[in-house]
Amino acid sequence: MDGIFISYRRDDSAGYAGRLYDRLIPHFGAERVFMDVEGIELGADFVTAIEEAVGSCRVLVVIIGDEWLSTQDKAGRRRLEDPHDFIRLETVTALQRGIRVVPVLVGGALMPRAEDLPQDLKPLARRQAIEVSHKQWDATTAELIQALEGMLAPGTARESRPQPLVDPSALSGGSGNGSAQPFVRRAWPKAAGAMAVLLVALAAGWVWLGGNSGEADSKRADSERWMTAEKPPDDRETAPVAPVVAAAAPPATTPTTPSATTAAARPAAVAARVPPAPPAVAVETPPAAASPPPKPVIRVFQAQADPAGARLCYAVAHAEFLTLSPHPGELQRLVKDCVVVAVTETTTFTLRARNAVDTVYKSISVSPRPLAVAPPAATPVPEAPRPAAEAAPAGLPRVGESWTYRTSGKWPTSPKRSIVIAVQSVANGVVTDGLRAEGLASDTRRSNGSRPMFMSWPAIGNEFSPYLAAFVDMNRMETLRGFSTPDMEPNWSQWYSEAKRIGQETVNVPAGSFHAYKVEVWSSRSATGGPMQAGIEPVRVHYLIWYAPDAKRYVKMQRRVLMASGLEAERDIFELVARR
């Protein structure tokens, strides 16, 4: 069966496997793409079932994630060391049977080295691999599809040498069990038939070359008596024709030469002399080449005034690489975002979007905000002292204040960082924050203190209204709805969010103990990827934020990402360490 078998570990790359399965189906058909060994009956030999399933395909795609090599069983032993491990059985079966094995690297995984593999898996290390990534999914999988189409093209042989027509042991006597004899008996009638056809063709060729000579007629008559017992009325004028040759020959045509009368009297002889038509050769239609990804498109690129200089906002489609020059350079968000840039003089900013097909760009000229001109000096007039009620509220953030947070995640590999967020400006309730952390590029974001909103940082993700308690009376806070929610990479959009206060409590963080208001935020969307992508498609993000009015900014935040399968993919915690 000309099929593709996808081999993967459920706890390593199930999401990638499902997404690749959905990608291959439109190109090869559901009947030619297999994933998992399903329906093994109770009491059946699962080793045999796996060998039969893999052996029925021509290509085995082995999806290798960053835990494919190191995944352990309950006893703490590497699962690849188990001879009965499904992944090992599938791969070894394909290697031993000469089935093409294609390693597909996902999630930044590296190709395993031969010394890290069991003995029967070591040949896998010599197979050419291809890397597939989420950010360049269409382009990288298109390359894989093109390679698979070539492997499945008619006439493409497997890696192993073809088996001999007859078992050599049967020709030499073998073990005497007679297992090869039925095959030999079946082959002999075919060989005898081929020999008879060859003899008939030789006889007909001899007649053709001999013309009308007496010697040719005599040999033709002898040949006729040898090939058939039934003679036509005129031995000399009718050439012997074997049924199989006459059936394959094209219809006789009447020539315009002087010998037409003689030829008409013996149509069978003419038919015998006309060489048979060559057998029809099926013309294989080459497989259609994978369609290239669409060109990148810059849909929006515009500038807005900002206290720090200018706010450049963009919306892009089909980009694999995005840069903004002269600064800040490469952009992490490839779909849409707003970037605050410092502008001291008129500057032309260029946004470039690139993928494997083309590069497009747009430019915009930005001028610095005009400085306010001070009015002429006037005679100072003694100013009456302002009432205390008109003084600036002490609870609002001020320029120069900073908060240091410690971040941690669910997984051992989750980054643990210390980040500092400092106020750069406050105007009309809008706070401009700057972020800095070791190993991360500095960044700037703005938030409206009195309105619910998300601040989206490429380095640390989303924050929900960090100064909410400084601008809003938390005792009167009602359920908040209808505010915008950022998309998640690569294309998870159409979110709906809701926030509400759920109580008050004392929370302990490295910076101390705080009496805080606890706020819960849910961001939700409908699943669109189907069951095969349920393990990698986010559908809910849950936030718990503790606001202490004395601290102005939140003192603790927990953020969880839930997949369509119900599994928790991420859980990040931000805790206040210091405030200055």
DSSP string, 82-124: STT-HHHHHHHHHHHTT-EEEEEE-TTPPPPPGGGS-GGGGGG
The β-bridge partners of 556 are 546, 575
Q: What topology is assigned to 396-579 in CATH? A: YmcC-like fold (2.40.360)
In the sheet with 297-306, reading across from the earlier edge strand, the strands are 297-306, 309-317, 336-341
The rounded distance, in Å, linking the Cα atoms of 147 and 402 is 54
Length, in residues, of the chain: 580
Please tell me the pTM assigned to this model. Answer: 0.38
- Give the three-class secondary structure for 257: coil
CATH superfamily of 4-151: Toll/interleukin-1 receptor homology (TIR) domain (3.40.50.10140)
The rounded distance, in Å, linking the Cα atoms of 324 and 302 is 12
Phi, psi of 81 (to 5 degrees): -75, -15
Right CATH for 297-366 from 2.60.40, 2.40.10, 1.10.10, 1.10.287: 2.60.40
Q: Is the separation of the CB atoms in 400 and 424 below 8 Å?
A: no
The β-bridge partners of 84 are none
Domain residue spans in the chain? 4-151, 189-273, 297-366, 396-579
Extract the runs of DSSP E, i.e. beta strands, from 355-495: 359-366, 402-408, 417-427, 430-437, 440-448, 454-457, 461-464, 480-481
527: which residues sit within 8 A by CB, 6+ positions away?
534, 537, 539, 564
Q: Output Rg (C-alpha) for the chain, integer angstroms.
A: 40
Question: pLDDT tens, position by position, for the chain (580 residues)?
Answer: 578 999 988 877 877 888 898 889 888 888 888 876 554 566 777 778 788 888 888 999 999 988 898 888 888 888 899 888 889 999 999 999 999 999 999 888 889 999 999 999 999 999 999 998 877 888 889 999 999 998 888 766 555 433 333 343 333 334 333 333 333 333 334 444 556 545 655 555 554 444 444 444 444 444 444 344 444 444 444 444 444 333 344 444 444 444 444 444 444 444 444 455 555 555 555 555 556 668 888 988 888 776 667 778 888 888 888 888 887 888 878 887 888 887 777 888 899 888 888 889 888 888 775 544 444 544 555 544 444 333 335 578 889 899 999 998 877 666 778 899 999 998 888 899 998 887 777 888 888 887 888 988 887 888 999 998 888 888 888 888 878 888 887 678 888 888 999 999 999 999 899 999 999 999 998 888 777 777 888 989 999 999 998 888 999 999 999 988 888 888 899 999 998 8
Peptide bond before 326: cis, by omega within 30 degrees of 0? Answer: yes
240 CB burial (10 A radius; 0-12, 13-18, 19+): buried
Give, in order, the Cα–Cα distances in Å from 442 to each of 381, 438, 513.
Answer: 45, 9, 30
Give DSSP secondary structure letters for 471-513: HS-GGG---EE------BTTTB---EEEEEEEEEEEEEETTEE
The rounded distance, in Å, linking the Cα atoms of 540 and 117 is 39
Torsion of CA 506, 508, 514, 519, to 10 degrees: -60
The closest alpha carbon to 143, from 198, 188, 105, belongs to 105
Q: Is the separation of the CB atoms in 149 and 27 below 8 Å?
A: yes
Peptide bond before 510: cis, by omega within 30 degrees of 0? Answer: no
Q: Is the separation of the CB atoms in 397 and 431 below 8 Å?
A: yes
The rounded distance, in Å, linking the Cα atoms of 56 and 338 is 52
Measured N-to-C along each axis, helices 46-55 and 86-96 cross at an angle, to the nearest 10 degrees, of 50
Phi, psi of 451 (to 5 degrees): -115, 140
The closest alpha carbon to 298, from 323, 280, 275, belongs to 323
Phi, psi of 33 (to 5 degrees): -120, 125
pLDDT of residue 347: 85
The rounded distance, in Å, linking the Cα atoms of 465 and 477 is 13
Buried b (16+ CB within 10 A) or exposed e, 489-503: eeebeebebebebee
The β-bridge partners of 339 are 312
The residue written with tokens 């149509």 in the block is 267
Written as six digits, the tokens of 147 are 């390679």
Task: Give the pLDDT confidence of 102-136 residue by residue, as tens digits.
Answer: 999 988 888 999 999 999 999 999 999 999 887 78
The closest alpha carbon to 211, from 219, 200, 223, 199, belongs to 219
The rounded distance, in Å, linking the Cα atoms of 241 and 416 is 90
